[in-house]
A and B are shown apart, each in its own frame.
Chain A
Amino acid sequence: MTELWNGLVKAVELIISLDPEVMQIAGRSLMIAVSSTVIGSVICIPVASIIHFNRFRGKRFLVSLIQTFYSVPTVVIGLFVFVFLSNTGPLGGLGFLHTPVAIVIGQVILITPILLGLTISALSGVDRAILDTARSLGASGLQMAVLVVKEARFAVVAAVIMGFGRAISELGISLMVGGNIRGFTRVITTAISLETSKGDIELAMALGIILIFIALVVNIVMNRIQQR
């Protein structure tokens, strides 16, 4: 129990005192996860719309496949990205291994299935009556698509929040392709892993609490946006 309490006290201390190293790590975590989420959303929301609004053979199978990839372990993605970005790998020449860029690449791959799948679900959830009304009022195909995306925006934002949550909370990718380099690629989850292995359980717990705090703030902000 004392460990839990000390962790909480330490978290509050670190947040109030704005410990520079902790703030830097937290800021980096946030920046990397936001970058991944923005890039992922920019790619996935239009692609999901295209999948949703078009009829083609194997569409169901494709959606099932996307949903299957929700559960890909982060270490597997980490491993593949590592092999690609390693100096001897196909993209080794870019020199991205052990940089924040490598983490962003991994996280985008991680959240792509979630963003695609949940956006497709969101679009599918739009009430048919709205579509019928729009069609009867003479809406064109494009106008209908825009209407559906607008109607589904709550669920789409929920998908984005979900993607962000998965990105900021993952450990495997950051550890394997980021390398947990102090002052460069150390993020909250890798710092927790390191501090635990060093025996600083309280600091590790404090970092965990800060991670949850960041997630809370981001969710409040996103919900505010959603409610406008």
Chain B
Amino acid sequence: MSLRLRNGSKIAGAVLIVVLLVGLIPGVIGCTAEEEFPLHDPLVRFKIATTTSLYDTGLWYHLEPIFEELANVEMDIVYAGTGIALEYGRRGDVDAIIVHDRAREDVFIADGYGINRRNFGYNFFLIAGPPDDPAGITGSTAAEALKKLHDEGVKDADTVKFVSRGDDSGTHAKEKLIWKEAGFDYEDVRNSGEWYVEAGKGMGPTLLMANEMQAYVMADISTFLAYNLKRDLSIEPIVDKDSIFLNVYAAIAINPETHPKAEIDIANQFINWLISDEVQEIIGTYGTAEYGRPLFFPIASCDMPGCPPVEDYTTPVPAYMK
């Protein structure tokens, strides 16, 4: 009898657990339907993958609500390096991509994954390093600077190190391009010693790593400024004047013939909106208040070798016809 009583309280406990767990279910499902899982939202979800530099600087936080209201869509922004963004695009997991690597953009479009490419903004890369510049790259061109870093780094990895993104991002692609211009085979550079550090991380963490190691690093100016403001970096820009440092951002719509589910009409509207005067002005002034200078430039102000031809960004993309 006493056993039964004891069991009685245990049963009550077990029942309570079950009741609480069951009680949670409607709560969870309720949220599923209402706010947390708005899969049946009447609004269309429009998904883009964007390069990290544009995201980390907060530009998309600024632009997202404007486009959402304009197009009456719910915009989902996934941030990823150019390599991953292109992969999302190839798989049709997004409706448009924002990338910065012309060579791979062209392949992406030629392979039938993307259409309606438009450049909409640019800025520059730079090579930052310790202020005392142990490798002596001050005043060099980009290619000369990397060559010096390589030569000095191979000689003495304790004083000269270079941190590479090493993640197939647009920045990494540009770095490889400069190595090529400097007359190096990239695979040789990678394997030339411990002076060459592959971070495998986004721009911000790579900068922080270079800062901790007092190493040289290649970064886009916007991420450098944003990170410098917040973390007070002890490395500083050393080489930043070279036309090869030009960094042009492009928007590409996913080809609906390859991926019929892609929201091509919204993607077209989005791309035309990016090259509109309204957004170009936002891009040209964004960051001025915080950094004393804009982080990006409107594409129309690009007038150096390597800039896209004018008709590349002044022609609105045509409506898609099936």
Which A positions have Cβ atoms within 8 angstroms of B?
28, 31-32, 34-35, 38, 41-42, 86-88, 92, 95, 97-101, 150, 153, 157, 179-182, 184, 194, 196-201, 225, 228
Q: Check A38 against B12 for contact (C-beta < 8 Å).
A: no
Within B23-78, the residues touching A (CB, 8 Å) are: 24-25, 28, 31-32, 36-37, 39, 47, 52, 56, 61, 64, 74, 76-78
Give every chain A residue within 8 A of B208 (Cβ-Cβ): 199
Output the least CB separation between A44 and chain B (Å). Answer: 13
The complex places the Cα of A92 from the Cα of B90 at a distance, in Å, of 14
Q: Which of A31, A153, A179, A196 contacts B13 (CB 8 A)?
A: A153
Q: Which of A95, A225, A228 has the most CB of B within 10 A?
A: A228
Q: Check A179 against B28 for contact (C-beta < 8 Å).
A: no
The complex places the Cα of A157 from the Cα of B77 at a distance, in Å, of 38
Give every chain A residue within 8 A of B16 (Cβ-Cβ): 225, 228
Q: Check A180 against B14 for contact (C-beta < 8 Å).
A: no
Which residue of chain B has the shortest Cβ distance to A93 in the bound complex? B261
Give every chain B residue within 8 A of A181 (Cβ-Cβ): 76-78
The complex places the Cα of A96 from the Cα of B261 at a distance, in Å, of 14
Give every chain A residue within 8 A of B230 (Cβ-Cβ): 198-200
Q: Check B36 against A28 for contact (C-beta < 8 Å).
A: yes
Which B positions have Cβ atoms within 8 angstroms of A?
7, 10-14, 16-17, 20-21, 24-25, 28, 31-32, 36-37, 39, 47, 52, 56, 61, 64, 74, 76-79, 91-93, 201-205, 208, 226-227, 230-231, 259, 261
Q: Check B14 against A150 for contact (C-beta < 8 Å).
A: yes
Q: Check A98 against B13 for contact (C-beta < 8 Å).
A: no
Q: Check B47 against A228 for contact (C-beta < 8 Å).
A: no
Give every chain B residue within 8 A of A31 (Cβ-Cβ): 28, 31, 36
Q: Check A184 against B76 for contact (C-beta < 8 Å).
A: yes
Q: Check A153 against B10 for contact (C-beta < 8 Å).
A: yes
Q: Known contacts A179-B76, A198-B56: does B91 contact A88 (CB below 8 Å)?
A: yes
Q: Check B259 against A201 for contact (C-beta < 8 Å).
A: no
Q: Check A100 against B36 for contact (C-beta < 8 Å).
A: yes
Q: Check B226 against A198 for contact (C-beta < 8 Å).
A: yes
**Considering the complex of A and B, which 9 residue pairs feature the smallest CB-CB distances, nearest first?**
A199-B230, A87-B92, A179-B78, A197-B204, A228-B13, A181-B76, A199-B227, A88-B91, A199-B231
Q: Which of B7, B24, B52, B64 contacts A150 (CB 8 A)?
A: B7
Output the least CB separation between B246 and chain A (Å). Answer: 24
Q: Check B24 against A38 for contact (C-beta < 8 Å).
A: yes
The complex places the Cα of A179 from the Cα of B79 at a distance, in Å, of 8
The complex places the Cα of A129 from the Cα of B13 at a distance, in Å, of 22
Q: Check B24 against A34 for contact (C-beta < 8 Å).
A: yes
Output the least CB separation between A19 and chain B (Å). Answer: 15
The complex places the Cα of A198 from the Cα of B64 at a distance, in Å, of 18
Q: Which of B17, B61, B76 contacts A225 (CB 8 A)?
A: B17
Q: Known contacts A100-B36, A180-B78, A198-B56: does B14 contact A153 (CB below 8 Å)?
A: yes
The complex places the Cα of A43 from the Cα of B56 at a distance, in Å, of 40
Which residue of chain A has the shortest Cβ distance to B49 in the bound complex? A179
Q: Check B205 against A98 for contact (C-beta < 8 Å).
A: no
Q: Check A100 against B37 for contact (C-beta < 8 Å).
A: yes
Output the least CB separation between A136 and chain B (Å). Answer: 12
Output the least CB separation between A185 and chain B (Å). Answer: 8
Which residue of chain B has the shortest Cβ distance to A36 in the bound complex? B28
Q: Which of B12, B21, B56, B261 has the most CB of A within 10 A?
A: B21
Which residue of chain A has the shortest Cβ distance to B47 in the bound complex? A98
Which residue of chain B has the shortest Cβ distance to A42 in the bound complex? B21
Give every chain A residue within 8 A of B261 (Cβ-Cβ): 87
- Subset of 23 A-B contacts with CB under 8 Å: A32-B36, A38-B28, A87-B259, A87-B261, A88-B91, A99-B37, A101-B37, A153-B13, A153-B14, A179-B76, A180-B78, A196-B204, A196-B205, A197-B52, A197-B56, A197-B204, A197-B205, A198-B56, A199-B208, A199-B231, A201-B231, A225-B17, A225-B20
Q: Check B204 against A198 for contact (C-beta < 8 Å).
A: yes
Output the least CB separation between B92 and chain A (Å). Answer: 4
Which residue of chain A has the shortest Cβ distance to B25 in the bound complex? A38
The complex places the Cα of A197 from the Cα of B205 at a distance, in Å, of 5
Q: Known contacts A150-B7, A199-B204: does B14 contact A34 (CB below 8 Å)?
A: no
Q: Check A101 against B17 for contact (C-beta < 8 Å).
A: no
The complex places the Cα of A196 from the Cα of B208 at a distance, in Å, of 10
Q: Check B93 against A97 for contact (C-beta < 8 Å).
A: yes
Q: Known contacts A87-B261, A98-B76, A100-B37: does B93 contact A153 (CB below 8 Å)?
A: no
Q: Check A101 against B39 for contact (C-beta < 8 Å).
A: yes
Known: A38-B25, A97-B93, A98-B93. 7 other contacts (CB 8 A): A31-B36, A34-B28, A35-B28, A38-B28, A87-B261, A95-B39, A184-B74
